[in-house]
Chains A and B, each alone.
Chain A
Amino acid sequence: MLNQRSKYLQIAFNRSLDEVRDMIAMLPASEKIIIEAGTPLVKNYGKKGITALKNWWSEKIQKPGYIVADLKCMDRGSREVEAVAEAGASAATCLGLAPIETINEFIRECEKVSIDSMVDMMNIEFPFEILQKLKKLPTIVVLHRGVDENERNKEKQIPHDQIHRIKGTYGNVLISVAGGETPRDVIRTFFNDSDIAVIWRSFYEAPENTANLAQEFLKLVK
């Protein structure tokens, strides 16, 4: 469903639903923006949060919007995927740290309900090892530095060098990079050949500034 040639900006929303509605209304109506229902939002509002985001964003861009449900699935892959697909999500995430059986089941179920599968490589040193073990490849691989990690331990870095290697070996997976927050990080992400850049913090901290921030970041997405 995502275009292989295009670059995307994924914005994660974690505030209360009322605030998120206003924030989405302020966004420029661009197809290059992907809306993510962050894990805290999913755990707080459940399916109805995802449906609400889907409706607001589709209304804004006047066609079915692309919504990512950041499930961070760890077990019972099929059950959770089914639920969010029903709620209107276009993609769901699974932890790379989950048992291989769960990831396989997750990818299979995503194909069955025809949504994109994202495997989140947070806290994994060598994403390659995980990809090798899988029966089928996911649609998108997410290279990710956790928020708590970032705050407490500055030395750890997003493994930009992995992007080329993964793309070289597995031609058609898309790469998404999460954990960089500044415009510089986003430039660097795209320069290293990533397809999707995920941001959230600046939007979380200054929701009233959403319009400007989105314009600014969107300029970086070629």
Chain B
Amino acid sequence: MQTQKPQKFNPIGLIIIVLFIAFSINPILGVIGIIAIIFFLKKNPKYLTFYLSNYLQTANKSRGSLTEKNQLILEKTDLIGSTMPLQIPSILFNKTKTRLEKRKKYLHVALNSTLEEAREIISQLPTSDRILIEAGTPLIKIYGTEAVSQIKEMAPAGAYIVADNKCADLAAREVEMMANAGANAATCLGVAPIETIDRFIEECQKFNIDSMIDMMNVESALAILKKLKKLPDVVMLHRGVDETEFSKEKQIPYYQIKQIKGNYGVLVAVAGGDTIREVQRATFNDADIVVVWKNFYQASAETAQLAESFLKEIK
């Protein structure tokens, strides 16, 4: 696997030559050049992991064709992948945790059943920075923070992990726990006391992770947002699984998406069902993040397929 070096033009060589010339003309020019490069990389840390992402794309393609016997090897390479290459940026800029970008559309895959199944689904998902992987509430309550760190390990290095901890009280403790377990985002209930939500958003900023407010069972998300001291990064419009099962007539309030985005600069996530048409419907209504979860009856291959067609059809 280590022989798979990407045969692409090497920008780093060119940069070094340019810097050398700059230094020989005027040392000050060289210093300015170096500072400019550092700034550039700090803004776009993905260039640092250029080779890594190339490697991962090839490695993940071959992963699907490998049989279960090779699971152990895959785990090992994942481990190496998640610790080694990303050390470079983390040493350089202590706090480069991936954050969500506006103007991009994301697919948010929620994993809720067991860690074994989570592994199966993750191994079939395509690699993309537009796919978010969530450790669902049942997983967190059953396995604890291990659910988050294990999923982080299974996922390709640098993947964006959401801990769906559904915080209702003691926000500071929970955010700290989830951030330390490696989550890039945590969730808090919109029905929680306002003091808790405020505290939650503050703590998320402190730990440099994205804050998501889950508006399940909240009638007007706008009314909650109005009361907050600071805005969260993401607002999630959400219908509970139990609700959906027992009273079908309740609907996801798509019209609220535009209302929220018109008034506040936040990303909006909706639970979009599990077919590509439903996902398209959600993005058509201007949602930034579409949440899908795997049903018990649904093969994990279908989730992977959905992810593939999402990446292809929704830009």
Contact = CB atoms under 8 A, between A and B. Distances in A.
Q: Which of B138, B193, B246 has the most CB of A within 10 A?
A: B193
B246 A74 contact: no
Contacts of A71: 141
Interface stretch (B20-28, B170-178, B282-290): B170-178
A152 B242 contact: no
Nearest to A105: B242
B245 A123 contact: no
Interface stretch (B45-53, B161-169, B255-263): B161-169
Interface string B80-104: 0000000000000000000000000
A45 interface: yes
A123 B141 contact: no
Interface of A: 14, 39-40, 42-49, 71-72, 74-77, 79-80, 83-84, 95, 97-99, 101-102, 104-105, 122-123, 146-149, 151-153
A79 B217 CA distance: 19
Q: Which of B138, B169, B192, B247 has the most CB of A within 10 A?
A: B169
Interface stretch (B32-40, B120-128, B144-152, B299-307): B144-152
B191 A147 contact: no
Contacts of B240: 74-76, 98-99, 101-102
A151 B216 CA distance: 25
B196 interface: yes
Contact residues of A: prevailing secondary structure: helix
Given A122-B168, A123-B193, 18 more contacts: A40-B170, A42-B144, A43-B144, A43-B165, A46-B144, A46-B147, A72-B168, A74-B137, A74-B166, A75-B166, A75-B243, A97-B189, A101-B247, A102-B242, A105-B246, A148-B170, A148-B193, A152-B198
Contact residues of B: prevailing secondary structure: helix
Given A46-B141, A71-B141, A76-B242, A153 B177 contact: no
A148 B143 CA distance: 26
Interface of B: 112, 137-138, 140-147, 165-166, 168-171, 173-174, 177, 189, 191-193, 195-196, 198-199, 216-217, 240-243, 245-247
Given A43-B174, A76-B112, A148-B171, A153 B195 contact: yes
Q: Which of A46, A84, A153 has the most CB of B within 10 A?
A: A46
B192 A79 contact: no
A130 to B, nearest CB: 11
Contact of A83 (B141, B199, B217, B242): B141
A101 B144 contact: no
B141 A148 contact: no
Contacts of B242: 75-77, 99, 101-102, 105
Contacts of B144: 42-46, 48-49
Nearest to A45: B144
B291 to A, nearest CB: 13
B297 to A, nearest CB: 15
B138 A83 contact: yes
Of all A-B residue pairs in the complex, the 6 with the closest CB atoms, nearest first, are: A46-B144, A97-B191, A75-B240, A101-B246, A148-B196, A102-B242
